[in-house]
């Protein structure tokens, strides 16, 4: 199986992100700072996933979210997204 077969997406980072967020962030819509595409966090491409993760735009490759688990806590870098829209009518994702 080559690496492209193993490529995961934001769905697979949902557990890691649920350590930080009390709502399901993978259902939220993010605006990419690179190309301005609007994508659910679930569909971003996921890299890493063990000690942390990087979620990248499937369109332009820009890194929207970086999360690292370190001894002093979880470090979260959201500089790659300009807006995160969270639906208030179904925080569980519907």
Partner 1 sequence: MAGTTVPGRLTWTLASVRESIPETLGARTLVLDVPGWRGHRPGQHVDIRLTAEDGYQAERSYSIASAPDGERVELTVERLDDGEVSPYLTEELRAGDRLELRGPIGGYFTWEAANGGPLLLVGGGSGIVPLMAMLRHRAASGGRTIPTRLLGSFRSFDAILYRDEIERLAETDGELGVMWTLTRAQPPGWTGSSRRIDAALLAEAGWPPEARPLVYVCGPTPFVETVAATLVALGHAPSRVKTERFGPTGG
**Is 9 one of the binding residues for partner 1 (CB under 8 A)?**
yes
**Of residues 4 and 88, the one with the C-beta less far from partner 1:** 4
Distance (Å, whole) CA 75 – CA 28: 20
Distance (Å, whole) CA 44 – CA 51: 18
Q: By rule CB under 8 A, what string of x and - marks binding of each residue 31-70 to partner 1?
A: ---------xxxx-----xx------------------x-
The candidate with the shortest Cα–Cα distance to 81, out of 53, 94, 62, is 62
Q: How far is the CB of 88 from partner 1 (least distance, A)?
A: 14
Q: What is the signed CA dihedral for 23, 38, 36, 81, rounded to 10 degrees? A: 10
Q: Binding residues for partner 1, per CB under 8 A? A: 1, 4-12, 14-15, 18-20, 22, 24, 26-27, 40-43, 49-50, 69, 74, 91-94
């Amino acid at each position: 199986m080559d690496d492209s077969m193993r490529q995961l997406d934001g769905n697979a980072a949902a557990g890691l992100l649920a350590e930080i967020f009390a709502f399901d962030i993978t259902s939220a819509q993010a605006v990419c700072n690179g190309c301005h595409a609007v994508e659910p966090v679930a569909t971003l491409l996921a890299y890493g996933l063990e000690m942390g993760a990087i979620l990248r735009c499937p369109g332009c490759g820009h890194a929207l979210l970086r999360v690292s688990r370190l001894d002093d806590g979880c470090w979260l870098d959201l500089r790659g997204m300009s807006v995160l829209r969270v639906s208030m009518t179904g925080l569980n994702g519907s």
